[in-house]
Structure 1
Amino acid sequence: MIVMTQVRLSELVAPSFYEIHNDIKHNRYTHYWLKGGRGSTKSSFVSIEIILGVMKDPNANAVALRKVKETIKDSVFEQLVWAIEKLKVTEYWEIKHNPMELTYLPTGQKILFRGADKPRKIKSIKVSRGYVKFIWYEEVDEFLGMEEIRIINQSLMRGGEQFVVFYTYNPPNRVNAWVNEEILIDRPDRKVHHSTYLTVPRDWLGEQFFIEAEHLKKVNEKAYRHEYLGEVTGTGGEVFTNVKARKINDEEIKAFDRIKRGLDFGYAVDPAAYIVCHFDKTRRRLYIFHEIFQVGLSNRKLAELIKKENKSNKLVVADSAEPKSIAELRGYGINIRGAKKGPDSVEYGIKFLQDLEEIIIDPERCPNTLREFVNYELEKDKDGNFKAEFPDKNNHTIDAVRYALEDDMRTGGLSILK
């Protein structure tokens, strides 16, 4: 093992990453999601950590990935070569360009590079010494989603006790982009970190970088916030901008005294969606903390699941377009009735929900509800303009919530539900 004394990390790592460096040093997390805007130096930080990590642990190897193989050389490969040079350890590394590969000469440990065009082929990676401890997904938002990431992780995370997986990206502007949704879900072995150029020493980026940033801030502040601050400013078509994902603990639920239950029917293609929520009328906050969301669910099985949650058999308000299903559930002992519908009810119901101070959704208890609320966007016409009406798809839990809250949505004695 080579002991390096000639370089101070503070000369290479921006202050915003000091805490992450200590977390890695003390093995506090496995997954590090590092998001931010331009010039935040998150990729530089990761490359430094990987080079140091391989040199300090004689059993550690690394794999750096991009979605498209052709983008590797000018991104992760050059970034890791930069780290080797900045750490002044070039003499200890063999740098091969074809195929791209970095070898730590004292031990033969490797840093390999792969494109994820075909994720299942990555399982063929083998190292002669140790295991793949470090995995780096650069521009992870370019990947197709967590299923693809899981396939790769399951192939690479084998044979070792401690893994460090980095996910670096600039957040996509769309609220419903999969990476923006993924970080809303709590995982005890994951840390999410946000950084911007404002935490980086000015001379590292150069004066022109700051001139360009300030110019964009003056002429288009929204674009500046997205590109330089890494904020998800949205496309403008998001229906619900008041959704907050957070854990709703058991103590909170015990104190809820205005619990409502709604049901949207489904079977072959659409899921049955049963929602349990609490509406704080005074503070105008809605808490959603239980869901049943399943395709192909018979009414008998649905009744069993509802009874398991609704032990006191409180009222369930369901889509009145399914009188046969309502009657069947009633026959199974469910206290249920159809929603009382009125004209323009979908629009009024959604506007009611939009007007709430917050819609708080537990991402662990209600992942499908969170996904539908966050993903619900206006559609565009052929000219690229947003349509006036709300789309009638992928809104099963939203409908169930509207049914559950119908008494609170009444206007002039007429229900605004449809």
Structure 2
Amino acid sequence: MIEKEVNPHFEDFLFDWRHKFYFLVGGYGSSKSYHVALKLVLKLLEEKRTALVIREVYDTIRDSCFALFEEICVEMELDEKIKFVSSPMQIRFPNGSKIIFKGMDKPAKLKSIHNVSIIWIEECSEVKYAGFKELIGRLRHPTLPLHMILSTNPVSTANWCYKYFFKDKANVVLDDEELYRDRVVIVKNTYYHHSVADDNLFLPLSYIEQLDELKVHDPDLHRVARQGRFGVNGRLVLPQFEEWPHDKVMEAIRGIKSPVRRSGMDFGFEDSYNALLRVTVDHKEKILYIHWEYYKNKMTDDRTAAEIIEFKKSRELIRADSAEPKTIAFYRQMGFNMQPAKKFQGSRAQYTKKIKRFKKIICSSNCPNTIAELKELTYAVDKQGDIIEDEFSIDPHTFSAIWYALDDYEVADLKGYAATVGNKSALGVR
């Protein structure tokens, strides 16, 4: 017997197995992922089962779900009894239970899985609806009750998980306002659970204060991170974007104690543009400064190389679009210090989310093309008028250049920070 303290708001959820679907939605730091993982550990210790843990991108699982299970088992002093296999990732229990980890970016590997009676879809809003339907088909066992757990931070009401579990234009399953009010709601075979940072008694006050600050500089993110609510996202992609006189920008940059300086380049020719930007980050204040741009099209690579010769002379690193390896090879042969930026499935959405985490994005008046593209950059919408979260109304080449420039830099992710300070022991040890 190992006694643990749990966050009271999750006590009922931990031991409830009466329903097929469990839908957990909430703000950053609420400890919902921690309690889902704990719920699975307790169940698989009790019964011999095979559980499948899913994220959209397989490579994100090791540092999130897999690490979370390891942490919980160490806290419960079960790490000598439960075996963690790193390749392929699996967790094996002494009674024959096991947890398998898969990504929807490798759907062919789902076909070899059998007798799965529990599925956890972490960050379910990132999984496509077709993938969700595919997983329902994989949930089958000849004798055991079947369960699917879905956890997410709220996103746009245009996302499939909102339309499926709450309401779309033709059907209302549950009014999400009712869930925000009652916190736990059961509708037919679905258990709904809503949580916010205040439900995690192990979060420091300073973290909650950071969430509260979002209300000023990013109301949309405040709605998601602090209130844990779905909503129609504002059409502006970067509501915190500001234009400053060049001298004022450079003065602010000179005042940064440890500036992070980066350069990024997007390639174009006929209708698109070569966009090369210099940016500087104030990591402490979470401010991104954009202070130099090169922006031209219908330029051959040799002409562009001649016009940006200062980068060759200074050996300043340029991170560039990896979709153009021949172009990068040309610049390297010409003596430029150029490296391909990382691209992966879902990288457009992930890079956009990263840039949106800055409290302020301040652009020099000397960068008119960047201002033209980003100051009023809006999301693209589908035929129903709903926002498409990784597409925009224009092709913003300067935005891509910023993605590439910062591909190895992480803005302090409030959600990730919560995983280390709030979820480290959401249960605690008596």
Question: TM-score under structure 1 normalisation?
Answer: 0.51
Task: Report the secondary structure of 2:65's partner residue.
Answer: helix
Q: 1:94 aligns with which of 78, 83, 87?
A: 83
Q: Is the 8 A contact 1:237 1:377 kept in 2?
A: no
2:7 corresponds to 1:14 = yes
Name 2:207's counterpart in structure 1. Answer: 209
Task: Report the secondary structure of 1:89's partner residue.
Answer: coil
What CA distance in whole angstroms lies between the structure 2 residues aligned with 1:31 and 1:217?
32
Task: Report the secondary structure of 2:116's partner residue.
Answer: strand
Q: 2:125 aligns with which of 120, 141, 144?
A: 141
Q: Is the 8 A contact 2:14 2:36 kept in 1?
A: no
2:37 corresponds to 1:47 = yes
Shift of 1:96: 1.5
Taking structure 1 as reference, are residues 90 and 376 closer, same or farther at Cα in structure 2, changes over 3 Å only? same
Shift of 1:44: 0.3
2:104 corresponds to 1:116 = yes
Moved runs in structure 1, 4+ residues, more than 6 A?
A: none
Task: Report the secondary structure of 1:64's partner residue.
Answer: strand
Note the alpha carbon deviations across 1:252-290, whole angstroms, 9 max, x for none: xxxxxxxxxxxxxxxxxxxxxxxxxxxxxxxxxxxxxxx
Q: 2:116 aligns with which of 132, 139, 145?
A: 132
Task: Report the secondary structure of 1:50's partner residue.
Answer: helix
Tell me the number of residue pairs that the alignment of Structure 1 and Structure 2 aligns: 231
What CA distance in whole angstroms lies between the structure 2 residues aligned with 1:141 and 1:98?
27
What CA distance in whole angstroms lies between the structure 1 residues aligned with 2:217 and 2:69?
35
Shift of 1:54: 0.3
Q: Is the 8 A contact 1:102 1:110 kept in 2?
A: yes
Name 2:161's counterpart in structure 1. Answer: 179
Shift of 1:160: 3.2
Q: Is the 8 A contact 2:56 2:104 kept in 1?
A: yes
Name 1:61's counterpart in structure 2. Answer: 50
Task: Report the secondary structure of 2:214's partner residue.
Answer: helix
What CA distance in whole angstroms lies between the structure 2 residues aligned with 1:69 and 1:38?
22
Q: Which has the higher contact order (CA 8 A, sep 6+)?
A: 2
2:137 corresponds to 1:154 = yes
Q: Percent of aligned pairs with the same residue? A: 25
The letter of the residue matching 2:134 is: I
Name 1:36's counterpart in structure 2. Answer: 26
Name 1:280's counterpart in structure 2. Answer: none
Shift of 1:189: 1.1
Name 1:198's counterpart in structure 2. Answer: 198
Taking structure 1 as reference, are residues 378 and 6 closer, same or farther at Cα in structure 2, changes over 3 Å only? closer
Which of the pair has more CA radius of gyration? 1
Q: Is the 8 A contact 2:49 2:96 kept in 1?
A: no
Task: Report the secondary structure of 1:181's partner residue.
Answer: helix
Q: 1:226 aligns with which of 215, 224, 227?
A: 224
What CA distance in whole angstroms lies between the structure 2 residues aligned with 1:166 and 1:377?
26
Shift of 1:113: 0.8
Structure 1: segments with no counterpart, 5+ residues: 239-372, 385-418
2:162 corresponds to 1:166 = no
Task: Report the secondary structure of 2:117's partner residue.
Answer: strand
Name 1:85's counterpart in structure 2. Answer: 74
Taking structure 1 as reference, are residues 81 and 374 closer, same or farther at Cα in structure 2, changes over 3 Å only? farther
Taking structure 1 as reference, are residues 230 and 102 closer, same or farther at Cα in structure 2, changes over 3 Å only? same
Note the alpha carbon deviations across 1:3-29, whole angstroms, 9 max, x for none: xx2223xx1x322222323432xx2x1
Structure 2: segments with no counterpart, 5+ residues: 167-171, 174-186, 237-381, 397-430
What CA distance in whole angstroms lies between the structure 2 residues aligned with 1:152 and 1:84?
27
The letter of the residue matching 2:44 is: V
Taking structure 1 as reference, are residues 84 and 374 closer, same or farther at Cα in structure 2, changes over 3 Å only? farther
Question: TM-score under structure 2 normalisation?
Answer: 0.49
Task: Report the secondary structure of 2:63's partner residue.
Answer: helix
